Amino acid sequence: MPNRTIKSRPKKFSSHSSRIPKGGAKSDFWKKERERVLVELFQRTAKKIPAYGKFLKKHNILPSSIRTYADFLRVPSVSKDNYLRAYPWQEFCTPQAFAKDPLVLTATSGSTGNPFYFPRDPSIDVHSSMYHELFLKNSAPSVKGNGSTLVIVCFGMGVWVGGIITYQAFHLLAEQGHPLTILTPGINKKEIYSAMRNVAPAYDNVILCGYPPFMKDVVDEAKEHGVNWKKHNIRVVFAAEAFSEKFRDYVMKKMGITDVYRDTANIYGSADLGTMAMETPLCILIRRLSLKLKRNNSQLYHKLFGTANRLPTLVQYIPHFVSFESHERSIYCSGDNALPLVRYEIGDNGGTHDYADIERIFKEEGLDLRALAKEAGIADTLQELPFVYVYERTDLSTKLYGAIIYPEYIKAGLFHNHLVKHVTGKFTLFTRHDELQNEYLEVNVELKKGITATPKLKKTVIKHVTDALLKLSEEYRNNASMMPEKVVPKVVFWPHEHPTHFQVGTKKKWVKKLVA
């Protein structure tokens, strides 16, 4: 990792990057650093943050008793319910923070309740810039001349974290001498296409940054707006949601992207702590290999991802910024900020691995990870940073006769080759009841622009969604064997961008709960 000082950041934040080695740090180093940083974060937060002091007192935790990482594991976790909604908002920061520190407020989407406003200080932008710089560094070999680059930020630019933090990250990098020009159209497709036609031709490279479902719309509708992706050297940074390798392949093919490992990346971030981790070329290689070998009955996938039968997002993280733990498949994250969080249950499922764990798992399956990375042409990108894998939020699913239905199951069905010309891939799920109080799964599907619903299309959608459910969910498969007529999903088509379920500018709610 680069060791540098960002000119525009206040001196109080300069230490965040100075403790990151220039490169070559081993897995064991990062493990020890992670444990040390977590204990120090706990001590600072317990001492300085009024709400956290009250929380610890309530749970009979004496801060002075937490001296080692083993002690740290005794500290109770915090969540939105037991912490962020339990104390006055002003008590989550130091008393002087609101009066003296330069803060930016961002909000959660409110998909699981009322929005919560997170204050963040400039250190979070610095952390984000270093992840984005890692992406630039890793993708550089595939960039002609490594010349001028236009960054188009396609995240919403309102109170949500994605747009502002992405702009700030690239702006900091531009100040450090990276040849970057930044444009922030947000989710305005007209402005995105106008930029591609009128501005992008002047640049050697274009990086588009956006939310995966929205970026798919941007990719699919480009031709009718006079944009030919293949005339540009395109790279894409995604964030805020998991996606499949089929999705990655689809976007790459449409945009003429040729390097699967270097030219796309997915960020694991949140309003809570900013950019927390990021896909590296190695992460993408591991995901694709685990899927490929899973078809040959290899145990690699299950050793890496446990019982997850939805392909998780796999990312690497810098422990000095945000660290992760996993307990009973629930992800805890800890990170410093204006509002520091210690052992925070962010609401995602998943697990963690040190780099050495990954190498060992590959070796058990008769595979040499470094040799595979060299064969894929990404040996120069390897960092022995730790990994976290995450899949759907624990509170974003529905049930059908006891079977948990995750959005990933439906995505797999709608992304079939027979459907991609007709539907956008976006949908909203409900579990409803008919007049006899029989449960059924309703799938509200967005049509592509100009497409009209037909009985034939509905039949095709039902078939492919059902096939995906049967393949991916053992619970659904069991129910289907006993009561096949009751578990067939009901499909409702909606026009493109209809405000009922597909309003542009808001984070997609894949699952909605009915209010009694």
Relative to beta strand 439-447, strand 490-494 is: parallel
Q: Do the domains 398-494 and 1-395 match in fold?
A: no
- CATH number for the segment(s) 1-395: 3.40.50.12780
Confidence check: pLDDT of 114 > 90: no
Confidence check: pLDDT of 21 > 70: no
**pLDDT attached to residue 98:** 82
**pLDDT attached to residue 5:** 35
**Span 298-335, pLDDT tens digits:** 899 999 998 776 789 999 999 999 999 999 889 999 99
Confidence check: pLDDT of 490 > 60: yes
Q: Across residues 27-53, what is the average pLDDT?
A: 97
Confidence check: pLDDT of 505 > 90: no
Is the four-CA dihedral 238, 158, 214, 414 of positive or negative sign? positive
Q: Which of 111-120, 255-264, 311-320, 459-468 has the lowest mean pLDDT?
A: 111-120
Q: How many CB atoms lie within 10 A of CB 198?
A: 9
Please identify which residue in the block is written with the tokens 């680069």. 2
Q: Which of 148-157, 158-167, 370-379, 427-436 has the lowest mean pLDDT?
A: 427-436
pTM above 0.75, yes or no: yes
In the chain, what's the furthest Cα-to-Cα distance? 68
Q: Across residues 23-43, what is the average pLDDT?
A: 93
Contacts of 477 (CB under 8 A, 6+ apart): 469, 470
**pLDDT attached to residue 17:** 42
Correct CATH for 398-494 of 3.30.70.980, 3.30.300.30, 2.60.40.1180, 3.30.70.20: 3.30.300.30
Q: Which of 170-179, 276-285, 302-311, 485-494 has the lowest mean pLDDT?
A: 302-311
Per residue, the 3-state secondary structure of 96-127, as one string, reads CHHHHCCCEEEECCCCCCCCCEEEECHHHHHH
> Which tops the pLDDT comparison, 53 or 475?
53
**Span 127-149, pLDDT tens digits:** 999 999 999 999 865 555 558 99
Domain map (residue ranges) of the chain: 1-395, 398-494
Confidence check: pLDDT of 15 > 70: no
